[in-house]
Chain A
C-alpha cells in the first residue's frame, strides 16, 4: 500500500454535518422533564464501549422544536466532547430512541456513508495519538475545550471503505467481546447475590448470626504510595478499585508481606469514602491504606465474604456519611456487628452452587483485560497502516 493520506475530518461529513451543542442558556437543568427527547451528555461517552445508554435526561418535544432543532443527533452519528474530558467519543446507538439532543459540551458529526464508516471515524478518535493531538490543540482559557473549527480540521487517514471495514471488524469484534464479558460478569454477580439473599430468607433454620469480623481477617493496607518508585506493582487505592489504573496510579517496587497483596479473586473492602466492596481481577497488586484485604477464615470461600459484607454495606455507608468530615469512614468495632450467614454445614453445598458464578465472572473480567490490551496494541498500528488486515478469504487457520 502506498503512503496514507491524511485529510481533514470535515471531508468525511455530509454537508452541514458538523454541529455543536446549544447555547448554555438554551438548555438548563430546569428544562429537564421525565420523558421526551434524550439528551446526550459527557457521561454517555464515558464508558469504554461505543456509547453508554444507561442514563439519560430528557427535554420535551416542544422545547426541541422551539430551541434545540439545530442540535439534534440521530443513530449512527459520531459524538465528540467539546469540553470536559477531551478526546471522548461515542456513536449514537440504533435503539431505543430515534433522535437525541446533544448537550452544551458535545459536538456531533453526521458521517457521509459514501466515504466513511461511522465506526472507522470512532476508532480514529480512540487512537491515543488523536487524543494527544486534541489536547494539544485545545483552547486553554477557562475550561480546556475545542470547537467545531478545531474538530473539523483534525486529520483522518483516508482509505477505501472496504479497508475501513476490515479494520473496524477486527477492533469491533474485540470490543463486542469485552461488552459481552461485562454482561456475563454482571449477571453472574447479580444472580449469585439474589440466590444468596433467597437462601438466607427462606432457610431460617440453616442461618446463624455471628459478628462479621469472625468470618475473616480484615487486613488494613498501609501507606504504600509513599516513596513509590514508579515501577513494579500497582498500588491499589479506591480509584484503582473503581476504575482500574489511570493517569494518577502509583507503582512501587517495594516488597510487602503476602497479606498486603491482592491477587485475582481476592476480596477488597474500602472502608472510607463511599465504601465499596470489590473482587480484584487485575494482576497482583499492593493494597494501600483505607482498604481491607479480606482473608476468609476456616477455608470459607471468597464470594461468601463478599456477600456478607454486601449485606452490611448500606448500614456502613450511612454510618460513614454521618461523620461531619468530608471523608466518612467506619471503625473497626463496626465490623463486630452480627450478620446473617449460612451455618457451617451448608456452606459447602452453597459453595458448589454459587462458587462457579463467582469464578465465571472473574474469568470474564480477566479475559477482558487481555482483549483490551490486544485492542490497544492493534488500534494505533492498524490506523497508521503499520499492520494490515487480510481479506477474509485469504485468512489462514493459525493456532493462537
Chain B
C-alpha cells in the first residue's frame, strides 16, 4: 500500500484563521483517536466531564479577571485585592461556580506529571461538588479507575486544555465550551448509533418544535429530557427574540431516567447558564414523577418510540383518556404530557408514526378520546431519515389546552379544528443516511401553524392561513370522525395540484418536444455512422 499522505493535508488546514467549526472538528477527531478501545458510551462521560471541568474553570477565571478590573478601577489598593478575589459571593452571585484552587485547570496542568492525572481530576470533581450544592452528585468521578489509561488521559487533558478552546473577549467560556459540549453530544449520539437516540434529538427537529411553540416566557417541561437539548434550544429562542436579559423568563423543569444521561443534562444546563430543575436525581417518569404538581406552559418532548417495557399502573390518574397498553408507552407519554399542561399550556411531542393510526390494544379509543376532548392542535408528518438512530418514520403531535382566542392574545378561534401538515417531502439529505430540515422548511411549517392559529408572530409577518393541497389542511372534528380518528396528515391534505410546472401551453410543449426528438434522431443517425467507423478500426 502506498504511503498515506492524508495527514499532511489535514493539518495544513489549521494555521491561518480556523473557524470555530474547524476547531470543534479537530478537537473531536483528536479526542476520538484517544478513545482507544473504550466504547463510545463510556468515553462520552470522560470527554464531556472534562469539557465541563474546563468550562467551570474558564468561567471562574473570567469572573476573577473581571473582579480584579472592577476593584482596581474603584481605586482599592492591591493589598486588599485578594479579599475580593476570594469572596465566593462575587462568583455565585454572577451565576459562576466557585472553583477551589485544586480544581482549577491551571492547577491540573501544573501538577499532572507529578501526581497522577486521574487522581487529580477525581479530586477536582469532588472539590467542585463540595463547593457548589447544585452540582452535588452530578460530576463523574471515574478518572482514576484501573481501566483508565493514564497516559491517554493526560493527552486528552492537554487537548481540551488547548488555548483555542478558552473563552476570550467577545466569546466567553459559556459560548465556546457550550458549543463544544453540544457538538460532542451530537457526535457521541452518532457514534453510539441506536442507543444514542436516548439522549439526543436531531437539532433540526428540536428547532422545529421550539419554533412552533414559541416559548417566550413561562414554565418549560420535558418529561424525558435526555441531555437537555430541548431546554438549550428554548433558551436560544428566547435570547434570539428577546435578548440575553430575558433569558430567565423561562423556567426549566425536566426528568430523565438514565443516571448517566441525567448527569449529562445537568452539566449541559450548567454550561449554558440555565438554572433548571431536573429533580434531585434521575428517575422513571411513570414510576416516580418528580414534578407531581407542575403545570407547564410549554412541554417539549421526544419520548422513546414504542417503548414496550414500561412501568404501568392501571389506575394511574394520568390515564384520563384510557389506560395505555402494557406493551407500548406511546399513549402513556401523551397522556402524561397532557396532564402536565397549564390552563393555556401547549405541547409538542415527537412520536413514531404508528401513534397516528394504530388501533391495537385500545390505542384507537384513547386517540379518539383525546381528539374529542379537543386537545390536539396540529399534526405534522415528518420526512424519513431525520433520525440517524432509527428508521421508524416519525411525526409531531401538538396539543393546546385552550384553542379559543384567549382575549388580548387575539388568536384565531380554532376550537373543534385540527391543522394537518404533511412535511414528508421536505428536508435535505446531508449524507447517504441522514436528512435534516432546512431553515426554510422549519420556517414554512412554523409559519403555516402560526398563520392558522393567528399568533402575534403571524400578524407581524402578515400571514394568512390557507389550505394547500398536498401540504396542509384544517380539518373539523367531524371530518376526523369520518376518518375513524386516524390522524395521519396524508389522509386530510389531499394530493397536490397536478404540476403544470412551467405553465407552458400544451401545444407549445408538444411542438418543443417534437423538435427535441427530431434533433435527437439526427444526432443518432450521425452517431450511428461514427460507431460504425470506430468499430471497423478495431483490430481483434
A324–B354 touching, CB < 8 Å: yes
- A194-226 vs B, CB cutoff 8 Å, 1 = contact: the mask equals 110110010000000000000000000000000
User: Which residues of chain B in 318-369 are interfacial with respect to chain A, using CB atoms and an 8 Å cutoff?
Assistant: 353-354, 356-358
Task: Say yes or no: A194-B506 contact (C-beta < 8 A), given A177-B524, A184-B520.
Answer: yes
B432–A84 touching, CB < 8 Å: yes
Kindly list chain A residues whose C-beta atoms are within 8 Å of the C-beta of B107. Answer: none
A137–B517 touching, CB < 8 Å: no
CB-CB nearest in chain A for B428: A29
B293 interface residue (CB < 8 Å to A): no
A326–B530 touching, CB < 8 Å: no
Kindly list chain A residues whose C-beta atoms are within 8 Å of the C-beta of B353. Answer: 324
Task: Say yes or no: A180-B1 contact (C-beta < 8 A), given A194-B509, A324-B356.
Answer: no
User: Which residues of chain A in 158-183 are interfacial with respect to chain B, using CB atoms and an 8 Å cutoff?
Assistant: 166, 169-170, 173-174, 176-177, 180-181, 183
- Which listed residue (A26, A32, A176, A387) contacts B22, Cβ 8 A? A26
Most B-side CB within 10 Å, residue of A180, A191, A371? A180
Dominant secondary structure at the B interface = helix
Most B-side CB within 10 Å, residue of A315, A322, A397? A322
Most B-side CB within 10 Å, residue of A28, A84, A149? A149
Rounded to whole angstroms, the CA-CA distance of A378 and B534 in the bound complex is 12
Rounded to whole angstroms, the CA-CA distance of A208 and B516 in the bound complex is 32
CB distance from B137 to the nearest CB of A (A): 35
A150–B513 touching, CB < 8 Å: no
- B430-443 vs A, CB cutoff 8 Å, 1 = contact: the mask equals 10100010110000
CB-CB nearest in chain A for B355: A324
A324–B358 touching, CB < 8 Å: yes
B513–A194 touching, CB < 8 Å: yes
- Which listed residue (A181, A201, A390) contacts B537, Cβ 8 A? A390
A147–B6 touching, CB < 8 Å: yes
Rounded to whole angstroms, the CA-CA distance of A102 and B392 in the bound complex is 32
Kindly list chain A residues whose C-beta atoms are within 8 Å of the C-beta of B69. Answer: none
A26–B527 touching, CB < 8 Å: no
Rounded to whole angstroms, the CA-CA distance of A165 and B1 in the bound complex is 31
Task: Say yes or no: A169-B25 contact (C-beta < 8 A), given A149-B3, A318-B495, A322-B491.
Answer: no
Most B-side CB within 10 Å, residue of A29, A84, A197? A29
B24–A177 touching, CB < 8 Å: no
Rounded to whole angstroms, the CA-CA distance of A152 and B9 in the bound complex is 14
Kindly list chain A residues whose C-beta atoms are within 8 Å of the C-beta of B393. Answer: 326
CB distance from B22 to the nearest CB of A (A): 6
Task: Say yes or no: A173-B21 contact (C-beta < 8 A), given A180-B520, A191-B514.
Answer: no
- Which listed residue (B391, B498, B533, B538) contacts A326, Cβ 8 A? B391
- B458-490 vs A, CB cutoff 8 Å, 1 = contact: the mask equals 000000000000000000000000000000101
B13 interface residue (CB < 8 Å to A): yes
- Which listed residue (A170, A197, A387) contacts B506, Cβ 8 A? A197
User: Which residues of chain A in 6-65 are interfacial with respect to chain B, using CB atoms and an 8 Å cutoff?
Assistant: 20, 23-26, 28-30, 32, 42
Kindly list chain B residues whose C-beta atoms are within 8 Å of the C-beta of A398. Answer: 536
Task: Say yes or no: A187-B539 contact (C-beta < 8 A), given A29-B436, A198-B510, A315-B495.
Answer: no
Task: Say yes or no: A389-B6 contact (C-beta < 8 A), given A183-B520, A191-B517, A322-B490.
Answer: no
A148–B506 touching, CB < 8 Å: no
CB-CB nearest in chain A for B4: A149
Rounded to whole angstroms, the CA-CA distance of A389 and B491 in the bound complex is 62
Most B-side CB within 10 Å, residue of A30, A177, A181? A177
CB-CB nearest in chain A for B23: A25
Task: Say yes or no: A395-B2 contact (C-beta < 8 A), given A26-B22, A184-B517, A324-B354.
Answer: no
Rounded to whole angstroms, the CA-CA distance of A180 and B356 in the bound complex is 48
Rounded to whole angstroms, the CA-CA distance of A42 and B535 in the bound complex is 32
A147–B4 touching, CB < 8 Å: yes
A29–B490 touching, CB < 8 Å: no
B84 interface residue (CB < 8 Å to A): no
B1–A137 touching, CB < 8 Å: yes
CB-CB nearest in chain B for A181: B524
Kindly list chain B residues whose C-beta atoms are within 8 Å of the C-beta of A315. Answer: 495
A177–B528 touching, CB < 8 Å: yes
- B498-540 vs A, CB cutoff 8 Å, 1 = contact: the mask equals 1000000011011001101100110110011011111111111
A198–B506 touching, CB < 8 Å: yes
Kindly list chain A residues whose C-beta atoms are within 8 Å of the C-beta of B141. Answer: none
B9–A20 touching, CB < 8 Å: yes
CB pairs A–B below 8 angstroms (20 shown)? A23-B25, A28-B21, A137-B1, A149-B5, A152-B2, A153-B2, A173-B531, A173-B534, A176-B530, A177-B531, A180-B520, A184-B520, A184-B521, A194-B513, A195-B510, A318-B490, A322-B491, A374-B535, A378-B538, A390-B539
New A-B pairs, 8, CB < 8 Å, besides A197-B506, A198-B510: A149-B6, A184-B520, A194-B506, A321-B424, A322-B491, A324-B358, A371-B531, A374-B535
Interface residues of B (CB under 8 A from A): 1-6, 9-10, 13, 19, 21-22, 24-25, 353-354, 356-358, 391-393, 424, 428, 430, 432, 436, 438-439, 488, 490-491, 495-496, 498, 506-507, 509-510, 513-514, 516-517, 520-521, 523-524, 527-528, 530-540
8 cross-chain pairs, A with B, having the tightest CB-CB distances, nearest first? A153-B2, A149-B5, A187-B517, A322-B490, A25-B21, A25-B25, A147-B6, A173-B534
